[in-house]
């Protein structure tokens, strides 16, 4: 067995998805280019059975699971099922990549500074409850801001409020629609900073003190 493939030598990454999975694809592509450090995507969990992200996982030969919210009576029961799956997968890092279902605080308490999320705006702008997917870009255009972007942060009990790992700005154009802006934020920001943040984590280069993330040079 090659040294870097030894089960104890690499970090197991579980990616949570709900939709198209372009951020998952960015992670898969980075892994294939050898750009995830010693991280390996070992499992993809979808909250939706028809998410295209599941096709991307299959094409990449990555095992997947579907854990649907409607199969559980409440958020607590759903979160408990997710937590059990993380334990079964021996997850070292959990990445929310377009995961649209609410989990409760038991999850981030079980994986403190070991769960990250990509958000399609420059937090603390356009974040928190109700700000997800296209709604985020609609709100940015409605406000008339000239610059938006994306943020990767650790997940805490506060929605979109955890320590910020990386951010990247994207200029807004006068003729942008929510759809064109969403696409450009993905291309110019999300697909770059999410794999970068995962790599930094897997290399042990992220330290959290208080609400700040320090990156080792």
Find the catalytic residue in 6, 8, 119, 135. 119
- Give residues in contact with ligand GAR (CB under 6 A): 17, 19-23, 53, 97-98, 118-120, 132-133, 136, 186, 190
**Smallest separation (angstroms) from ligand GAR to the CB of 138:** 12
Report the nearest approach of ligand GAR to the CB of residue 137 (Å).
Answer: 9
Cβ proximity to ligand GAR: between 22 and 64 the closer is 22
Residue ranges with strand state E in the chain: 11-17, 39-46, 64-66, 93-96, 115-119, 147-154, 164-171, 206-209, 212-215
Cα gap 118→4, rounded to integer Å: 27
Task: Describe the crossing of helices 52-59 and 22-32 by its angle, rounded to 10 degrees.
Answer: 10
Smallest distance from ligand GAR to CB 96, Å: 7
**Closer to ligand GAR by Cβ: residue 22 or 113:** 22
Category of 131 on φ-ψ map: left (φ > 0), alpha (ψ -120 to 50) or beta: beta
The structure tokens listed for 45 are 């969990």
Those residues whose C-beta lies under 8 Å from the C-beta of residue 196, and which sit 6 or more positions away, are 152, 166
The pair of structure tokens assigned to 165 is: 């790992």
Residue 83 or 118: the one with the smaller Cβ distance to ligand GAR is 118
Contact 139, 126 (CB under 8 A): yes
Residue 97 CB, shortest distance to ligand GAR, in Å, is 5
- Tell me whether residue 29 or residue 203 sits nearer to ligand GAR (CB atom): 29
Is 8 considered catalytic here? no
Enumerate the active-site residues: 119
């Amino acid at each position: 067995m090659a040294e870097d493939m030894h089960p104890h030598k690499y970090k197991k990454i579980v990616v949570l998805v709900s939709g198209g999975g372009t951020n998952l694809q960015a992670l898969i592509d980075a892994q294939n280019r050898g750009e995830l450090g010693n991280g390996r995507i070992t499992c993809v969990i979808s909250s939706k059975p028809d998410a295209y992200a599941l096709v991307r996982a299959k094409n990449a030969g990555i095992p997947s699971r579907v854990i649907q919210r409607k199969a559980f009576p409440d958020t607590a029961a759903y979160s408990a099922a997710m937590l059990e799956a993380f334990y079964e997968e021996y997850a070292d890092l959990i990445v929310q990549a377009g995961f649209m279902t609410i989990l409760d605080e038991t999850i981030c308490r079980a994986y403190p500074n070991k769960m990250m999320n990509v958000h399609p705006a420059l937090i603390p702008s356009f974040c928190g409850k109700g700000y997800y997917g296209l709604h985020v870009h609609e709100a940015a255009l409605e406000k008339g801001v000239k610059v938006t972007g994306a943020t990767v942060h650790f997940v805490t009990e506060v929605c979109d409020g955890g320590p910020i790992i990386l951010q990247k700005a994207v200029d807004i154009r006068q003729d942008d629609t929510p759809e064109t802006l969403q696409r450009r934020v993905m291309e110019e920001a999300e697909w770059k900073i999410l794999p970068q943040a995962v790599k930094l984590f897997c290399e042990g280069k992220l330290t959290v003190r208080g609400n700040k993330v320090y990156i080792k040079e």
